[in-house]
Chain A
Amino acid sequence: MSEQSTAVAGGEAGTAATTKEAADAQAPVKPKNNRAWFLVLPVVVSVAFTAVIPLMTVVNFSVQDVFSPDDRIFVGLEWFRSVARDPEVRAAFVRTLIFSAQVLLLEIPLGVALAVAMPRRGVWVSVALVLVALPLLIPWNVVGTIWQIFARPDIGLGGWAINNVLGLDFNYTLDSTDAWITVLIMDVWHWTPLVALLAYAGLRSIPQPYFQAAQIDGASAWAVFRHIQLPRLRGVLTIAILLRFMDSFMIYTEPFVVTGGGPGNATSFLSILLSKIAVGQFDLGPAGAFSLLYFLFVQILCYVFFTVLTRSGR
């Protein structure tokens, strides 16, 4: 039964592919005009001021030992070596990677499940969309504040319930594991809606005949999901996975508010450590080298992101 519906889906996918080829064939019609550079000039200038010049400063710091503005010596790659060997930096790197992996493992399946369960018609669609999107629009430090309050064992509903209803000893300000779990749950609460919204947009774009065909075949809900909905979500899920990875990899504000990186170093992610070195201790050299290594790593990821995004089409 489900094989038949797959066949239908395959056939339709074939049609979709043809349409895409047609679109590709049309693309070269886009005229070549180098005067378009005048149109992008404002963007280039503004981003040069906000990104390129600052980055040059960072490069400058990273190869010098600055004692005072007039007293500085060139130290070559010394700072890069010391940063790359720094156990604290390495620990933060591993910690951030683990965090990003956990975020993806939790948020992607949960987001897809939510999207499937969301209403598709009627007035409730708008209400559902607004409710689901709300956490995304809360200032990041307020997300921190919300959870700082909610997870406290003395004044927060969440923390209080874990301690008094479940009977577990939970205190995120003292226990590293509890702090980690709090930050992780906070991120799931904050960003799963993004996955859900993207997946929902993907689901809405599936043409009706697919479902009618599946219904005629008597396909089960699971078969419909596995053979019709999931394959169709590939594009949006690619975006969701990459965005969630990049953003969780540079998380700063939320854990900063809730735990401040602690207790100890338990939730001190790369951005938190970097800002501590940069504007906390003003260690210009190490901070510069750290920034560049961090930046380069993210750039490489970004390139992968861009390639996958442009290959998978719209």
Chain B
Amino acid sequence: MASLLNQIGAVTALNVRSIPQRGWMSVASVVAVALTIAVLLFFLALSNGLSQTVKGSGADDVAIIIREGSNAELNSVVTRDQLSILTTGPGVAQRQGRPSASGELLVIVDGVKRSTSTNANMPFRGIGAEGLALRRGVRITEGRMFNPGTNEIVVGAGLLREFSGFEFGKSIRLRGTTWQIVGVFEAPGTVFESELWADIAVTQSLFNRPNVYQTMRIQLSSPDAVKAFQDWAKTDARLNGLEVLSERAYYARQASQSSAGFMFIGLVLGIMMAIGALAGALNTMYSSVAARSAEIATLRIIGFSGWAAFFGTMVEALMLSAAGGALGILLAFVAFNGRTTSTLGAGFTQLVFQFQLSGGIVFAAIVMAIVIGLVGGFFPGIRAARQRPQLELAAQ
């Protein structure tokens, strides 16, 4: 056993030292693996960042009520009567003697995407007096909150980074009325950071949707209270056709909807490119075996086993693909990890998020690089092990 290890060590050293002889080919296969890994990481980080942002928006102890079957807020309708019935449910938290609940209406307004100067859909949300308190982690970083009953808007910091038209202090005209941007809020890692907020009653009247709500958010006393609240809502006929779920569950559902497509594209492209990179790795290794046929034959004649030749080739392939994988991951970290971007989210409005690599994603990339190395070394390794020493030397 020890002698086999020694033999493998010797052959590996021989292989590795001869890499410079096949310099360009080795570099080519390293770069091919690196690019494959980078493309895979691009889409997985995109999908992950999108999904994390959406998922991160929901709290466990806040119930959200939407119309059954509407897959986005935009399609949902909750009436004013239903709203007041809902605030009488069990476990509804009270703040200063009032139920901590917010009926909300989402309309879409145009903003201008900074990078392309094209119009883009911005979510404009009318929220109730409790709307801010219902969203933990949101804080005003510039200016102040809007005053209820006025044409004032606060804008998310994420929206401001990617889109123009809603800068702090600016006044804008919507539906023949002037609105003032009085504040900027931060809500790191949530969908809210890409929204505009204004008073619900003003939004309803100025957007010509009197007494129409789309969703309602209710602060419950604890995460466990959601179940009891759901059961209670089912028993009231006036609440028929409404769906009650925790904010976290709601956003988890949205997250899978919006990110699944990118994940799919990433995996399909990643696998296709991996097959291409594999072809490159196999070529490199076959020519490595061919170039060293005389050396391998000599070693075999002086008593080295076929296993040594096999593992020597295998280790070289793994080293090349590991170098490619490392380069690809490095490229991903430098080129796009943490970079902010935006796309059309599940609610038909722009959603600002960051490319986000995670341990699992990097692990998937490493696995892919290793698989390329293993398969890329296996077949050439077999060829190396099967060489007939006498024939090889005679041919020289």
Partners in one complex: no
A interface list, Cβ under 8 A from B: none
B interface list, Cβ under 8 A from A: none
